[in-house]
Structure 1
Amino acid sequence: MSHLELAGLSAYPESRVDYAGSTYFMTRGERMLGVIGESAGFEGTRHEASGALLCPLTPANAAALRRRLPWLNPVPLGLRTSAGFGDRLGLATPGHVLAVRGTGIAPVFAQQSVRENARTHRTPQQVLDDAMWGVFQAGWREPWGADADHLKTPADAEAFAAAGYTFYTIDPGDHVDNAADTDPAATLTAKVDTLPWDILDSSAKDLEERYLKVLLRLGRFNLYFDRPVLLRAAAKYG
């Protein structure tokens, strides 16, 4: 029986961390952060039998724990094979850890869009903190990411940036010209001619010279543009 159990506390065993002279763990039942040792910066109530400071899972305590345990901060994952989990409830990350552990896949445990947050009444900070508490509970020590999904405006990104997200998925859907799917050739040509080529530091002629009749090898796949397909793509996506 562990010291914590003898003191009447039941903790998730994977959550226990001995780091830089202090011990951290998460209690079962009413989940709380336990800190034994240096507890400055945490807000909680002292548990007399164990000597631990028991702290509610608040944003302030989440931030304090991230400062103590660096692997609880999301990081950029670069070109690693990754997968986003998109936990809408804020409770599923421990299960996601079990699913991804040992696969070699880099997890993006915090992944929500502005629309999803509006529907679930959560903030980017809550999503990240919920994922972090799950990472801590399940004992995940490897890199993980946080994706600000489906961003449509610069203002959308601000709260995610302030929370510490490391991946930003831009949704240009409002600027996609779906009419280009069926526009006649003359209309497509006119639309392509009026694209902001000065900003793109290019021209319609450069576009055709760069992509027409050029075989693009993409791993096992080959991509080839004829003029109608190229103009349709340029007009649709700008």
Structure 2
Amino acid sequence: MNRSILLVMAALLFVALGCNLDQFRGGSDDEVPTPVTDTANDADSDTTADADDGNDSDSTSSSSDGGSADVSMDKFDKIEMGMSYDAVKGIMGSDGNQTSMTKAGNREMASYEWKGEKFAAIRVRFNNDELSYKSQTGLTPANGSADISQAKFNRIEVGMSYDEVKDIIGSDGEMTSHSKFSTFESKSYRWKGSGYSNIFANFRDDKLQNKTQSNLK
């Protein structure tokens, strides 16, 4: 019995010594992980962004009623493709009213008009100060003397040249517009007959593109 008591006491002593040893070593081998906390960056950062609208063109437009310019068919006929604004102004005898201005990269396009009495007007457009378009309205009487008819109109076919159409009608047409871009050239003509009858013809590179008529018999 004494031996049993001694064994129990020895076991208790061993346990007590083991606990004290753990405290002496600083704790158990199992470590509790330290929580990781994200630290916010207190430094303020300034960001500058340049806005780009993707449009590198500046355009302005203006218009004027005009009405006092000295416009005529003779002056219109003298205006030629490729002329500068100053050259056209010299023919017209006055500054035109600017109706639009567009700048896109290295290209600058400007439009002008000269208005005469009633509906008479000459309009032009320049590409880098070279004339690329001209048109006219009201420079001649509405009632003309061209010998036009429905029969002649029917003979005119798409693809004909200006000279072929002129031969059918029997006279030159009145140019209403002329434009040139790169190698392409377009011209429009009008033949005015009695009773306010008309034949209109549009040519591209001297080939008839379309024809229309009004009040023919």
- The answer to which structure has the higher helix fraction is 1
TM-score of Structure 1 vs Structure 2, range by shorter chain: under 0.3
Structure whose alpha-carbon radius of gyration is higher: 2
- The answer to which structure has the higher strand fraction is 2
